Structure formats: structure tokens, C-alpha cells
Structure 1
Amino acid sequence: MSDFQEQLIELQTRVAYQEDTLAQLNDVIARQDAELIQLKQQLRLIAQRLDELSRNPAQGDGEVMDERPPHY
């Protein structure tokens, strides 16, 4: 095999590995994006619930958020 053919095969091999790596990285990014979207939704719901509880503490467990603990 000539030197040129060996170089061409080496380049093709590198490109194949790089394409595989890019596909794997793309999969990771897609999963992380979906998880990030889910976490943002959960955070939004928690913030909404906290806001509701701070406006109307009677909806909670019956405890007032600003009430002093019994050991004071």
C-alpha cells in the first residue's frame, strides 16, 4: 500500500471516531437539556407553592411561617 493510501485510511479512521464522539456528545447534551427543562419546571412549581404559602399560611400544615419556635 502506498503512503498516500495509508494516510487516507488514517484520516478516514479519525473522522469515523470523531463522528462517533460527536454523536455521543449530542446524546448527552440532549439528555441534559431535557433534565434541565424538567428541573426548571419543578423549581417554578416550588417557587409558586412557596409564594402561595407565604401569602396564605393557613393553606399549609397549619403552621405560620413567622411563628416563633416553642423553645423561645
Structure 2
Amino acid sequence: MIEERLTALEIKFSHQDFLVDELNKMVSDQQQLIDKLIKEIQNLKISIDGNAQSTRTLEDDVPPHY
């Protein structure tokens, strides 16, 4: 009886251990993706800031008859 319960607990532990490893991998993959997306957003902000300073407006354009 005790041996059967012990075996059942070992099986249950084995499944939980596998699940924890899989979840850790998922969290790690998601963190890598988050880090990549943060870098992309930072690059976009830099690009937008750079373009905002060099963007011409209609006020900067001289009409063709001048």
C-alpha cells in the first residue's frame, strides 16, 4: 500500500518537474522576445526623433511663384 502511494507520488512529481521545466523555458523565451521588442521600440523612438527634427513643414516650402 505505501509502496503504491510512493510510486504514485514519484510519478506525480515527475510530471510536475517536467511541467516546471517547460514553463521555465516559456518564460525565458518570452523574456527574450520582450527584450527584443524593447530594443525595436527604442530604435523606432530614435528614428522618429531624428526624423521629427529634419521633417520639413509646409511653412518651409517656398511657393513656386517666388
TM-score, normalising length from structure 2? 0.82
Q: Match of 2:39, as an amino acid?
A: Q
How many angstroms apart in 2 are the aligned matches of 1:18 and 1:40? 32
1:16 has 2:14 as partner: yes
Residues in 1 aligned to 2:20 and 2:34: alpha-carbon distance in whole angstroms: 21
**Cα distance in 2 between the residues matched to 1:26 and 1:38:** 18
**2:57 corresponds to 1:53:** no
Q: How many residues align?
A: 58
Displacement of 1:24 after TM fit?
0.3
Can you list the C-alpha shifts for 1:12-40, whole angstroms capped at 9, x where unaligned?
Answer: 00000000000000111111000100000
After TM superposition, the score normalised by the length of structure 1 is 0.75
CA drift of 1:55 comes to 1.2
Please, which of 30, 33, 39 is the counterpart of residue 32 of structure 1?
30
The percent of aligned pairs where both chains have the same amino acid is 16
Alpha-carbon distance, 1:56 to partner = 1.4
Which protein has greater RCO, CA pairs closer than 8 Å, 6+ apart? Answer: 1
Amino acid at match of 1:5: E
Can you give the 5+ residue segments of structure 1 that lack an aligned partner in the other structure? Answer: 58-63, 68-72
